A = this chain, B = another copy of it.
Amino acid sequence: MEFQITHKDGSTGARCGIIETARGNIETPVFMPVGTQGTVKALTPEDLTDAGAQIILSNTYHLYLRPGHETVKKLGGIHRFMNWERPVLTDSGGYQVYSLARLRKITEDGVTFQSHIDGSSHFLGPKESMAIQRALGSDIVMAFDECTPWPAEYRYVENSVRLTTRWAEICLNEELEKEQNLFGIVQGGMYSDLRERSAKELVKLGFPGYALGGLSVGEDKETREKVIADTIRFLSEERPRYLMGVGKPEDILEAVILGVDMFDCVMPTRNARNGSLFIDGGRIVIKNAEYKEDNSPLDETCGCYTCRNYSRAYLRHLFMAEELLAYRLNTIHNIYYYIHFMERIKNAIKDNKILEFQTEFYRLRN
């Protein structure tokens, strides 16, 4: 995997780049739609390519439990399984073990937990996570980390950083397929000195990319942005930086300005299913009565399939009637919005106008 920085903003940390993978190039900054169970909810791969998706994320934890990584491998790997030819990033399962599984028990080797599906008992550690992601055949593999809860005591986080570095080293020593690339994940909670320590330890080990984990766990925006800024300066300038699980368009914009290259978040897909639809300046809550006879598209300026073909009134009708098509049309729009938002950010960086873009973005909010 190669990462070429094609443009650096003069006055901020923002940058554009190209990640070259065996399955094609990824232009950064990039948003990765989340396909938890081997499908981006409600969309086909064609819907995703039509929206401009370059890479999607899928989940080790979920695919391990169902249908099982060995099954996915037998069926030709994650790409063939879900009929998606572009790159896939799989997370390590670390985050899901903490957010979804029951009866967790952490040892130096990994985590014993019960499946959220059927209560069955499982063990996941760095070696297991690498074996699973190898079987899945993803292009970018994430190291197995402990996602520190928030708030957490300093000593707890300090030990968690130690464990995460230890596990990252184990992950590095596991064999992956030739075309797979392993990213390290920085932890350290909201303690800047522990973030620094975690970043330095991982950079010393040496990864082709680095992620910031353990954010968007309940902390406020200022805290998050301080942690990002305090972490990024210890990460290699020439490697992609991935902010995991973040977030709202404004969060992404701020992180890009701080120097982040990659993002994923369930927000566009989950909000779509709840009828909350992104437009510049905010969101449209499609169930609102004001849209009952509104024959205009969701967003006049949007080029997505939904906005080109359907009225707000029809989208409201589908949503109120709980029709399956509602979830698809809404998701198409929100994913397009996010991906197109990244396009506009990229163009603003290339034009050395990211701060003007930022000003205009917030002006529309008021």
Contacts and interface: CB of A to CB of B under 8 A. Distances in A.
A295 B318 CA distance: 34
Interface string A316-328: 1110110111011
Nearest to A43: B325
B43 A313 contact: no
Contact of A75 (B43, B71, B75, B314): B314
Contact of A81 (B39, B66, B82, B314): B314
Contacts of A239: none
Contacts of A166: none
Given A37-B323, A44-B325, A66-B321, A71 B313 contact: yes
A307 to B, nearest CB: 12
Given A75-B313, A310-B83, A66 B325 contact: no
B324 A327 contact: yes
A159 to B, nearest CB: 35
Interface residues of A, number: 35
Chain A binding surface, main DSSP class: loop
B325 A39 contact: yes
A177 to B, nearest CB: 20
A318 B39 contact: yes
A313 B83 contact: no
Interface in A312-345: 313-314, 316-318, 320-321, 323-325, 327-329
Contacts of A44: 325, 328-329
A324 B272 CA distance: 13
A39 B329 CA distance: 12
Interface string A62-88: 000011000100111000011100000
Given A66-B321, A67-B317, A324-B324, 6 more contacts: A37-B321, A42-B324, A44-B328, A81-B314, A83-B310, A324-B328
17 contacts: A37-B318, A38-B314, A38-B317, A39-B325, A41-B323, A41-B325, A42-B325, A42-B328, A44-B329, A66-B321, A67-B313, A67-B317, A74-B293, A75-B311, A76-B295, A81-B311, A81-B314
